[in-house]
């Protein structure tokens, strides 16, 4: 007689932000096997990029892959095209790109933290973090003109300049957000529902992180020193003050602490960008059609994002391949669930910060 029962989580579930389906095989309370399906929000974006849109408009199409890391997608694509066209953009444009990239990381991590709180049953903290996240959203709107779809990056530079008034507001707001984040750090370390309850749950060891090819905050929480910002020299991350954040626990609490530390680091980077913004043009006109192939990597809030672009000298590209961070982490996700209690599954899932609209594209 079969001794296990199958319990589905998703595709629609109260603890999920986006549709994903897990089927847990449970023995009493313990999960013994996991099966997952991520393709619920497929929109055929890769195909659209190579059939309907010209290469100079594709940057705006790929920004619609995901609402949270829109800027990383358009940045990766644009950087790829600039590499193919052998174009060099100004240092000021690079600095402004970093500024928006880091602002995006801050608000994405805040969303994940608030969601973790909600799944722990701490609704008040969820409201608080979401309320404070509005400060960052408003900054982004001031800077780019829109809250979510920035459309800030175009081939050759950025679309808008940073005015001194906006810079002043951003610095003021970031100061408030830093204080608030230090407050969260206290809560996440000392509050029972957010720290002790999460310690030792959903653990991924360093060896497992290597074996399952984990990336992003998931890997950094296990002590694996992997961050694309450390490896590429396309954007001047090291001179702006990037410091890699790692923890050794590998559990939900460590992931939260890594995200909080990254928020603090990103705030510092944003302040350094604004204080040390070089003079110059924000846009250089680039001519030509992409020919050849290129691979670009960038660090999205959830891990490494990879773009493969192939052009053949025509306005419409031959191939655009997007490899998203959540997709790369699925083997690690499935492994973490095994051996955990079923009741912990929503909390573990929230700590991964999965982005399914990226994954299914």
Partner 1 sequence: MFASFVKAFKNLFKEPQTIDYPATPIVKDEGYRGLIEYGQEECIYCLKCEKACPSGAILFVPVENPPKNEKNKKGLKYHYNPHLCIYCTECVRACPKPDEALWQSNKKPPIGIKDDKVNEEWFELERLKSKD
Positive or negative torsion for Cα 75, 240, 268, 120: positive
Q: Binding of partner 1 at residue 160 (CB under 8 A)?
A: yes
**Identified binder of partner 1 from the candidate list 61, 85, 110, 257, rule CB under 8 A:** 61
Closest to partner 1 by CB, 307 or 337: 307
Contacts of 327 (CB under 8 A, 6+ apart): 38, 358, 359
Closest CA to 45 of 308, 321, 361: 361
Q: Binding of partner 1 at residue 151 (CB under 8 A)?
A: yes
Q: Binding of partner 1 at residue 131 (CB under 8 A)?
A: yes
Stretch that binds partner 1, among 86-94, 136-144, 174-182, 268-276 (CB under 8 A): 136-144
Shortest separation between residue 106's beta carbon and partner 1, angstroms: 19
Stretch that binds partner 1, among 76-84, 91-99, 137-145, 298-306 (CB under 8 A): 137-145
**Identified binder of partner 1 from the candidate list 60, 234, 308, 342, rule CB under 8 A:** 60
Half-sphere exposure of 308 toward its Cβ, with a 13 Å CA cutoff?
A: 6
Closest CA to 37 of 327, 252, 339, 307: 327
Stretch that binds partner 1, among 42-50, 96-104, 134-142, 247-255 (CB under 8 A): 134-142
**Identified binder of partner 1 from the candidate list 159, 205, 213, 246, rule CB under 8 A:** 159
**Identified binder of partner 1 from the candidate list 142, 167, 232, 316, rule CB under 8 A:** 142
Q: Binding of partner 1 at residue 178 (CB under 8 A)?
A: no
Please tell me the distance from the alpha carbon of residue 305 to that of residue 301, in angstroms, as a whole number. Answer: 9
Stretch that binds partner 1, among 31-39, 110-118, 141-149, 242-250 (CB under 8 A): 141-149
Please tell me the distance from the alpha carbon of residue 37 to that of residue 23, in angstroms, as a whole number. Answer: 9
Closest CA to 352 of 223, 242, 215, 212: 215
Chain centroid, CA 336 distance in Å = 20
By rule CB under 8 A, what count of residues binds partner 1?
18
Per the listing, tokens 């009493």 go with: 28
Please tell me the distance from the alpha carbon of residue 208 to that of residue 143, in angstroms, as a whole number. Answer: 41
Binding residues for partner 1 restricted to 242-301, rule: CB under 8 A: none
Closest to partner 1 by CB, 62 or 355: 62
Contacts of 179 (CB under 8 A, 6+ apart): none
Q: Binding of partner 1 at residue 53 (CB under 8 A)?
A: yes
Shortest separation between residue 143's beta carbon and partner 1, angstroms: 8
Positive or negative torsion for Cα 272, 275, 276, 278: positive
- Work out the number of other CB atoms within 10 angstroms of the CB of residue 288: 11
Closest CA to 217 of 260, 269, 270, 188: 260
Contact 63, 57 (CB under 8 A): no
Stretch that binds partner 1, among 138-146, 228-236, 327-335, 341-349 (CB under 8 A): 138-146
Stretch that binds partner 1, among 80-88, 147-155, 252-260, 352-360 (CB under 8 A): 147-155
Q: Binding of partner 1 at residue 195 (CB under 8 A)?
A: no
Shortest separation between residue 160's beta carbon and partner 1, angstroms: 8
Shortest separation between residue 79's beta carbon and partner 1, angstroms: 18
The contact set with partner 1 (CB under 8 A) reads: 53-54, 56-57, 60-61, 131, 134, 141-142, 144-146, 149, 151, 154, 159-160
């Amino acid at each position: 007689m079969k001794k296990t029962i199958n319990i589905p989580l998703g595709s629609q579930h109260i603890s999920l932000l986006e549709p994903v389906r897990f089927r847990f095989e449970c023995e009493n309370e313990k999960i013994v096997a996991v099966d997952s399906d991520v393709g619920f929000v497929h929109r055929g974006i890769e195909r659209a990029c190579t059939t309907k849109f010209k290469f100079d408009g594709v940057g705006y199409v790929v920004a619609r892959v995901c609402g949270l890391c829109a800027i990383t997608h358009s940045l990766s694509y644009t950087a790829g095209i600039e590499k193919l066209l052998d174009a060099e953009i100004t240092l000021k444009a690079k600095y402004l790109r970093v500024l928006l990239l880091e602002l995006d990381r801050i608000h994405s991590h805040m969303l994940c933290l608030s969601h973790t709180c909600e799944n722990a049953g701490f609704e008040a903290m969820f409201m608080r973090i979401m309320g404070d996240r509005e400060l960052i959203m408003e900054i982004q709107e001031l800077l780019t003109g829109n809250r979510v779809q920035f459309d800030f990056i175009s081939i050759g530079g950025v679309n808008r300049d940073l005015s001194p008034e906006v810079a002043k507001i951003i610095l003021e707001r970031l100061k408030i957000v830093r204080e608030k984040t230090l407050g969260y750090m206290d809560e996440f370390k000392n509050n029972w529902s957010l720290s002790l309850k999460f310690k030792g749950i959903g653990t991924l060891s360093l060896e497992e992180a290597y074996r399952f090819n984990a990336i992003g905050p998931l890997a950094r929480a296990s002590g694996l020193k992997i961050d694309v910002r450390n490896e590429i020299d396309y954007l001047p991350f090291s001179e702006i003050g990037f410091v890699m954040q790692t923890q050794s626990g590998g559990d939900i609490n460590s992931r939260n602490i890594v995200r909080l530390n990254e928020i603090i680091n990103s705030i510092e980077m944003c302040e350094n960008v604004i204080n040390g913004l070089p003079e110059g043009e924000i846009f250089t006109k680039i001519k030509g059609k992409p020919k050849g192939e290129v691979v670009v990597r960038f660090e999205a809030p959830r891990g490494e994002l990879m773009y493969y672009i192939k052009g053949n000298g025509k306005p419409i590209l031959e191939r655009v391949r997007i490899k998203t961070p959540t997709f790369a982490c699925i083997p690690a996700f499935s492994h973490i669930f095994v051996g955990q209690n079923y009741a912990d599954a929503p909390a573990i899932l929230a700590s991964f910060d999965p982005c399914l609209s990226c994954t299914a594209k």
